[in-house]
Amino acid sequence: MTSNLSSPTSPPPPVPSHLVYKQQQSSTNSQAENNAYQRQSTSPRTVERASSRGVRQAGYVPGSSDDDEGGRSSSDAAVPSILVSVAAMTLGASDDEALSAAAAAAKSGARSSANKRVSRGATSEFSQRPHTNNSKHPPPPLPVHGSRHATAHNSMELSHMELGATVTDSATTTMHAAEARAPTPAMYWKQTKTWGVRPPKMRSHTLTVIGSQVFVFGGWNNSVCYNDVYVLDTETMFWSKMHTSGDEVPPCRAHTATAVGSRLFVFGGGDGTQYFADLYVLDTKSYVWTKARPAGVAPSPRRTHTCFHYNGYVYLFGGGDGHKALNDLWRVRAEPTAQNTFEWEEVETKGGRPFPRGYHTSTLVGNQVVVFGGSDGQECFGDTSLLNLDSMEWSHVSIDPPLTRLAHSATLVGMYLFVICGHDGADYSSQVLMLKLDTLRWETRAIYGSAPIPRGYHACALHDGRLFLHGGYNGQEVFDDMFVLELSSYSYLPQVPEFVIGCHR
């Protein structure tokens, strides 16, 4: 269903900035307790959003702060800029995590959701509150019984849901069991339980899928930067902290980690005022790190850039070097030379490059890459650019409305680009925006369950019909939680035939 997006949903009333977002607990439907099983209809509403924001900073003094992106800004220092401390990336005062102070400055006291976070009890998979971009709430989301691989003849049984004990931040409330019907094909969020040695709270880390495993590397918690490798088995949901050998990789954040077969290519990033230009390769079978020796000229040190793998090369676009935002394009061969070096080259393109930026996303779609959003330290972008990797020609598409995002994630699911969370230039978001690539239109769907607290700087990856989201930051708190967006019937989208971006526009 296509919806016209115009203005944002009315925000909750402002609360003191030291409060965090909490999800709202819904009350139990007494009629559902009597197993009425009455089918309820959903009424999607229009995703509403303010017009594209491009607010310039005012009164910022270059070099006036150190690498303090995690700190809160005082109300008397607030200026009408959405990106005061984001701008520090380009000026060298701080880096990708500076947005926390910017959000506080823009609002002179962060808006915080009045919703209460709900964690599930033994018999509950997720809470009642639906998280959707619709003006009217759809039927209460309820947990699905049985395996996620249940067969079609069990679809009616799978639509029967049950709620159990629900825990709030202040007290434990026992709720009576309730059952109702929910649409079987609907997508839903759940905060999944994991086991083993879990990663700590982190932001600006990477989450990369290789086979059936999810690899987490780097990140920081506002004070400590990491260089550890954590692996999640997606079948058992068991975490392991891996013991690696070989060359020592420095702790870093805002780097990239790109899968090439069973290898993980990690480039750039930094820690504090340091910006790196080194390429490290992790063999995920032996867990041996190798520092790649570059052949020829290599890219400048940077972070908040993006990387992707195509046709034997790892491509690099944009980022910030501590003085300015970048829009250069580089690539390195994924296989070393006979001298065991890795050849870098700067790629010349046609059609005019996008504006310099970091905090953006670059998503490979066939032989093209879709660059969306980001920031140059002065402005929050909502534009979309396409690069044909065979002709090396840029094209720039206009999508109405231009939804601004930075520090978000963008994942290809069939012909849809799932843009999740991030910052819109005024506040953190928990929205799931779906860009249909053949029509280049934003679409919305009802999404049930317990959505993540609004955040940015998280990491997201797709595997086996599920979108995994880990960690992030909401301006006050760094997270270590793991959420899964069950795509349900949308998990079949990757099986759609090839399409041309914008062919049905």
CATH of the domain at 472: 2.120.10.80
pLDDT by 10-residue block (mean), the chain, 505 residues: 36 36 38 38 35 33 34 35 42 44 40 34 33 38 36 30 31 36 76 96 98 97 96 97 97 98 98 96 97 94 98 98 96 94 96 96 97 96 97 95 95 95 96 94 91 97 96 97 91 74 82
- 479 in a structural domain: yes
Tokens of 137: 């709430």
Backbone phi and psi for residue 36, each to the nearest 5 degrees, phi listed first: -70, -30
Does residue 58 form part of some domain? no
Asked if 294 and 314 touch (Cβ cutoff 8 Å), the reply is no
Establish if 428 belongs to a structural domain. Answer: yes
The 3-class secondary structure across 401-435, one letter per residue, is: CCCCCECCEEEEECCEEEEECCECCCCEECCEEEE
C-alpha–C-alpha distance, residues 37 and 77, integer Å? 55
Type of residue at 489:
S
The pLDDT of residue 135: 33
Q: Give the 3-state DSSP-derived string for 203-257, with helices as H, strands as E and coil as C.
A: ECCEEEEECCEEEEECCECCCCECCCEEEEECCCCEEEECCCEECCCCCCECCEE
Number of domains in the chain: 1
Structural domain of residue 327, as residue ranges? 191-495
Q: Which residues of 438-467 are buried (b: 16+ CB within 10 A; e: fewer)?
A: ebbbbbbbbbbbbbbbbbbbbbbbbbebbb
CA nearest 375: which of 389, 361, 364, 393? 361
Supply the pTM of this predicted model. 0.69
Is 231 within the bounds of a domain? yes
Residue 11 domain-assigned?
A: no
Give residue 394's pLDDT. Answer: 98
pLDDT of residue 169: 37
Residue 185 lies in a domain: no
Other beta carbons within 10 angstroms of residue 354's beta carbon come to 20
Three-state DSSP string of 312-362: CEEEEEEEECCCCEEEEEEEEECCCCCCCEEEEEECCCECCCCCCCECCEE
Spatial contact of 95 and 320, defined as CB atoms under 8 Å apart: yes
Q: In 3D, which of 106, 86, 37 has the Cα closest to residue 426?
A: 106
Write out the H or E segment, with its range, that includes residue 166: strand 166-167
Q: CB–CB of 395/384 below 8 Å? A: no
Q: Is residue 99 part of a domain?
A: no
Q: Confirm whether 468 is domain-assigned.
A: yes
